[in-house]
């Protein structure tokens, strides 16, 4: 479809002013402006909320990685302790139990 010509737009504006009066049209435009402002504010808050959620997710991922590193370090300590105990068990006392045989 074609866009209305400038003369048609002017005619529509005059008809609207005559029907509703200048006060109602200005009030309506004020309400439209408030609506646009509220919409922009809502979009901005939504964007900030999404960015905050992403930051929280990154923080939780780093917390998970830290916990995994701590578990791996603890596991390595336990394995080292197990190996030490196994080697200590292998080194038994070779002295004779019966002192009479010496």
User: What total of structural domains would you count in the chain?
Assistant: 1
Q: Is residue 95 part of a domain?
A: no
Helix (H, G, I), strand (E, B) or coil at 42: helix
Q: Is residue 29 part of a domain?
A: yes
Q: Is residue 78 part of a domain?
A: yes
**Does the CA dihedral 66-70-71-75 come out positive or negative?**
positive
Q: Is residue 70 part of a domain?
A: yes
List the one residue out of 66, 70, 67 whose CA is nearest residue 78.
70
Q: What does pTM read for this prediction?
A: 0.43
At 15, list the tokens: 């008809």
The CB density around residue 56, as the number of other CB atoms within 10 Å, is: 10
Question: For 43-99, how does the pLDDT look when each residue is reduced to its tens digit (9 = 90+)?
Answer: 999 999 988 888 888 778 788 888 899 999 999 999 999 888 877 766 665 566 666
Q: Is residue 32 part of a domain?
A: yes
pLDDT on residue 99 = 61
Q: Enumerate long-range contacts of 34-37, CB under 8 Å, 24 or more apart.
A: none
For residues 48 and 22, the model is more confident at 48
Q: Is residue 61 part of a domain?
A: yes
Q: What angle do CA 74, 80, 82 make, to 5 degrees?
A: 105
- The whole domain housing 76 covers 7-85
CA–CA separation, 85 and 83 (whole Å):
5
Question: For 53-69, how does the pLDDT look when each residue is reduced to its tens digit (9 = 90+)?
Answer: 888 887 787 888 888 99
């Amino acid at each position: 479809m074609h866009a209305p010509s400038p003369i048609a737009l002017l005619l529509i504006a005059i008809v609207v002013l005559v029907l509703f009066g200048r006060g109602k049209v200005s009030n309506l435009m004020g309400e439209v402006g408030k609506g646009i402002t509220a919409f922009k504010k809502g979009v901005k808050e939504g964007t900030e909320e999404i960015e905050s959620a992403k930051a929280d997710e990154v923080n939780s991922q780093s917390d998970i990685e830290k916990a995994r590193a701590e578990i791996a370090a603890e596991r390595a300590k336990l394995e080292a302790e197990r190996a030490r105990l196994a080697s200590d068990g292998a080194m038994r006392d070779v002295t004779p139990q019966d002192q009479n045989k010496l």
